[in-house]
Structure 1
Amino acid sequence: MRIDYIKCHGSGNDFPLIDARALALGEPEWATLARLLAERGGPVGGDGLLALVPGDDAHAFGMRMWNSDGSEAETCLNGLRCTARLGFDLLGLDAAQVKLKTSSAQVARDPEIAPGVATIRTLVGPNSTRSADVGLVGAPEQVIDAPIPGLPNARAFTAVAMPNPHLVTFVDTVDEDELVALGTWCESRPALLPARGNVSFVEVRGPSRLYVRTFERGVGLTDSCGSAMAASVLSAALTGRTAFGVPVEVFNRGGMVRGQAEADRRVMLSGNATFEGAFAIEADLAAGVLGAPEPLAPRPAEQAAWAAAVAALR
């Protein structure tokens, strides 16, 4: 089958994005397609697969997202910005309510975060700090800036559901070996966290600036994870490190976003939705084989604008 897709990224979190509103695939086929397209060493590569899907009476359109291991995520906020941009472009909209796997989000075009960089604002939540919603088994009812019994790391964590599960801890300096060790343990489906979870180490670099490094469920150590940035913004406000209702700059190895936690535990993120180009590829799902990507419409100006924006941050 021929698959048309856009290669896109939000804060360096990159994906193939498909307009799947008329594409009928079963769940095993979607999982296979995600593994093929998002295989990092494959012809396309990415942190996962995004699909623009039909909405309903309350939603202009929907989004689905599969990790590179074929598992489906509840949400992906970097991917949501890219999917929202495609929905806006195809439907002639500037704002919409978007249906996610288990929740809903408000999305809108926003002033450029940097010259020439398409920017989308998302508002998600209210988000939960109930341990049961995070997927923690046998933990206290909620965990805010406290050690988690049974976790093989003594740091104080804040557990939040965005609605996908996140464990956030604030550190003086990110130790990637420590982060990978804990993320790998969470990836093993331990009894404490049987559905796995995302783990973020966060440096507070000022009253309104955070740096986030994340081990992402189903992906591994990643340069950027949108829901992790949102979870970090909320966790910083919940623990008094930043204030509710105040803009925060959130940095990671992929770039940056503007964020803000609201008192009702909703979180706003505004950041890039960069389209690197449109492509087509032949996919044989039964054989698990992809052809070579066919370039349809490259967008070098968008790539250059984002590269300039990232360079300006360093």
Structure 2
Amino acid sequence: MRFDFIKCHGSGNDFPMIDARAVSLDDATWAWVAVALADRAGTVGGDGLLLLTAGDDAHDFGMRMFNADGSESETCLNGLRCVARAGFAALGLERATVRLKTSHASVALDPALAPGVMTIREVAGPVDLDVAHWPMRTGAAQVVDAVIPELGSNRRFTAVAIPNPHLVSFVDAVDEDELVMLGAGCEAAPDWLPNRANVSFVELRGADALFVRTFERGVGLTDSCGSAMAASTYAACRTGRLAFGTQATVFNRGGLVRAEAAADGMVRLSGNATYDYAGSVEIVGSVAGPVQITQTFAVETAAWRAAVAAMAD
């Protein structure tokens, strides 16, 4: 089975993206495609698979995101910007309402973060603090800056769904070994957390900046996770570390976004939607074959790298 795709990334969160508006495949087949294309040892690689899907009466277009293990996520905010860019180009739009798996989001073109960087603003939420909806069975209705005994850690976490479930802990310095240990424990889908969760350690960097490191459900330790950056921004405001309505810069290993959380639970992210190349690939069995590259986007790829280097200084 051959697929045309675009290799893209939002803040270093990279994906193959397929225009699936006219493609009819069942969920099991899309999961198979995601595993083959996202394989880091294969010819494409990525944190998962993005699909641009058809709209309906309430949505201009839709988005689906399959993780590298084939599981489907509620959303991916870094990936949403890339899908939004594709949807805008396909439909001649500059703003849209996008259908997600369990919710929707608003997206719009935004002034460039830096010269040559395609930038899109997305508004997601409201966040959900009721952990019974995950479900997370800890005996508490909400977890805000509190220890979760079931995790086996003394760290304090804030539980936020946007709509992906996130456990956010503010730390003096990120300990990746500890983060992987806690993330892997959640990834094992214990009885108290059957649908798993993303786990993030967050460093405060000055009055209006955060650094987020995430063990992402279905992916593992990742350089970037958009919904984790949104959840971390809201958690910082909810716990008084940042002020609601204040724009923050949120860094990760892959880049950065501008973020702002409102008291009503809505979170705005503004970040890049960068294309690396377009191509096609044949999947045989569970393996993606050689990629035939049809177009490269070297100028915008270089613009993003330059922007990250400048903003990190």
- Alignment counterpart, residue 299 of structure 2, candidates 278, 298, 301: 301
Question: Counterpart in 2 of 1:116?
Answer: 116
Q: Is the 1:279–1:293 contact (alpha carbons within 8 Å) kept by the matching residues of 2?
A: yes
Q: CA deviation at 1:152?
A: 1.4
Q: How does 1:80-159 map to 2 (within 5 A)?
A: 80-159=80-159
Question: Counterpart in 2 of 1:264?
Answer: 264
User: TM-score, length-normalised on structure 2?
Assistant: 0.98
Q: CA deviation at 1:45?
A: 0.1
Question: Counterpart in 2 of 1:226?
Answer: 226
Q: How does 1:234-249 map to 2 (within 5 A)?
A: 234-249=234-249
State the distance in 1 between where 2:135 and 2:203 align: 25
Q: What is the one-letter code of the residue matched to 2:72?
A: E
State the distance in 1 between where 2:139 and 2:47 align: 30
SS of 1:305's partner is: helix
Q: How does 1:1-314 map to 2 (within 5 A)?
A: 1-284=1-284, 287-312=285-310, 313-314=312-313
Q: Is the 2:13–2:78 contact (alpha carbons within 8 Å) kept by the matching residues of 1?
A: yes
Identity value in percent? 62
Q: Is the 1:151–1:192 contact (alpha carbons within 8 Å) kept by the matching residues of 2?
A: no
Encode CA deviations 1:103-143: one digit per residue, 9 max, x unaligned. Answer: 00000000111110000100001110111123211330000
User: TM-score, length-normalised on structure 1?
Assistant: 0.98
Encode CA deviations 1:7-60: one digit per residue, 9 max, x unaligned. Answer: 000000000000000011111101100000000111000000000001110100
Q: Is the 2:52–2:63 contact (alpha carbons within 8 Å) kept by the matching residues of 1?
A: yes
| Structure 1 range deviating more: 288-297 or 57-66 | 288-297
SS of 1:59's partner is: coil
SS of 2:149's partner is: coil
Encode CA deviations 1:65-88: one digit per residue, 9 max, x unaligned. Answer: 000000000000000000000000
Q: What is the one-letter code of the residue matched to 1:150?
A: E
CA RMSD of aligned residues (A): 0.8
Q: Is the 2:230–2:269 contact (alpha carbons within 8 Å) kept by the matching residues of 1?
A: yes
Q: Is the 2:117–2:272 contact (alpha carbons within 8 Å) kept by the matching residues of 1?
A: yes
Q: CA deviation at 1:192?
A: 1.6
Q: Is the 1:134–1:166 contact (alpha carbons within 8 Å) kept by the matching residues of 2?
A: no
